[in-house]
Amino acid sequence: MPRRLAQAVVVLWAAFTLSFVVLYLLPGDAVLTKLGSAEGGVTASDAEVAAARAAHGLDDPLPVQYGKRLLAALRGDFGTSVSTGDDATHLVLSALPPTLAVTGLALVLAVLFGGGVAVLGTYTRQRWLGQLLLSLPPLGISLPSFWVGLVLIQVFSFQLRLVPALGSTGFASLVLPAVTLALPTGAIIGQVLAKSLRTQLAEPYVEVVLAKGASRGRVHFGHALRGAALPALTLVGVVAGNLLAGSVVTETVFARDGVGRVTAAAVTAQDIPVVQAVIVLAAFFFVAVNLAVDLLYPLLDPRLAAPAARTGKVTADA
């Protein structure tokens, strides 16, 4: 476990460094852009630009900038927002609760839909039904989610008047964004789970259990699903990241408050400190979820808890 924690810290540091390289080293000067647009297109004087650069710490040599920013980031300080002047970390974290609400619901829906489709699609003896169900995940992956959100608004808000179209008040406003967000994620879960279920069902132990008199249902849900859930679980880190990234689009479509909205606005304003805070937050989610999965693994698969399983290399290359 200490080894895993160390790896997690390295990934976070690397994500910070990657975002520093992308955001601070590439051409395109956020301060100039910012000053240019703030004055309504009038170019700011050299003195003003220099003052703004100094205020954002952009006039130090790059290694010094990197060191300073890394030290600050360790304290949770990513600098101040170029456009609002607020603390970037605070801006992103205060937008987190509404995003987590949608993301959480979306995760539940994705697991239910994706899992349901995969399990039923492989269980049914009706060939056409199986084919229909298993053709849903590839379809779900192919639909642009910004468009799915708009279609859902059209149908459920404007035609059927079931739920409010926009805004972030009440549980009803959660449903459509969560469904939109869940669709691509559920499709990925469905695809992976169906594949590993098929692999499991072809294993010799299935025949043994059937020969001993177990029902098809028992084999399917009791044995194969349990074995198939493990490979699907490695996806969870990716899934969490996708949900957070997907919220940029869904929150824009549904005009909801949250991290995604903050991100979209920050990119529009080329607000580098805020964008960097979001990137590191996403990496943090990825790392945290993967750590949680690593802790869960031995509970699901006793073989991994055995000392013979060695540390590391269990999920590292998944």
Token pair of 90 as six digits:
């605070």
- Cβ closest to other proteins, residue 156 vs residue 304: 156
Q: How far is the CB of 2 from other proteins (least distance, A)?
A: 19
Identify any residues that bridge with 80 across adjacent strands, giving them in sequence order.
87
Q: CB-based contacts of 38: which residues, under 8 Å, 6+ apart? A: 44
Rounded distance, CA 163 to CA 179, Å?
Answer: 13
Site string for other proteins, 203-222 (x = CB under 8 A): --------------------
**Which residue in 105, 192, 183 sits closest to 141, CA to CA?**
183
Q: Could you say which of 5, 22, 112, 292 contacts other proteins (CB under 8 A)?
A: 22
- Cβ closest to other proteins, residue 55 vs residue 151: 151
Token pair of 52 as six digits:
């703004």
Q: What is the dihedral of CA 221, 222, 223, 226, to 10 degrees?
A: 80
Rounded distance, CA 141 to CA 49, Å?
Answer: 46
- Cβ closest to other proteins, residue 136 vs residue 225: 136
Q: Could you say which of 270, 293, 294, 297 contacts other proteins (CB under 8 A)?
A: 270
248 near other proteins (CB under 8 A)? yes
Q: Could you say which of 242, 258, 262, 293 contacts other proteins (CB under 8 A)?
A: 242
106 near other proteins (CB under 8 A)? no
**Which residue in 187, 171, 177 sits closest to 111, CA to CA?**
187
Q: Could you say which of 4, 19, 181, 224 contacts other proteins (CB under 8 A)?
A: 19
Q: How far is the CB of 219 from other proteins (least distance, A)?
A: 26
141 near other proteins (CB under 8 A)? yes
CB contact burial 172-206 (16+ within 10 A = b; e otherwise) = ebbbbbbbbbbbbbbbbbbbbbbbbbeebbeeeeb
Q: How far is the CB of 33 from other proteins (least distance, A)?
A: 8
Q: Could you say which of 32, 38, 229, 264 contacts other proteins (CB under 8 A)?
A: 264
287 near other proteins (CB under 8 A)? yes
Rounded distance, CA 17 to CA 213, Å?
Answer: 58
142 near other proteins (CB under 8 A)? yes
Distances in Å between the Cα of 35 and the Cα atoms of 45, 55, 189, 256, 275 are 9, 13, 45, 28, 18
Q: How far is the CB of 248 from other proteins (least distance, A)?
A: 6
DSSP string, 49-84: HHHHHHHTT-SS-HHHHHHHHHHHHHTT---B-TTT
Q: How many residues bind other proteins (CB under 8 A)?
A: 51
Query: Which residues contact other proteins by CB under 8 A?
Result: 11, 14-15, 18-19, 22-23, 26-28, 30, 138-139, 141-147, 150-151, 153-154, 158, 165, 241-242, 244-246, 248-249, 252-253, 263-264, 266-268, 270-272, 275-276, 278-279, 282-283, 286-287
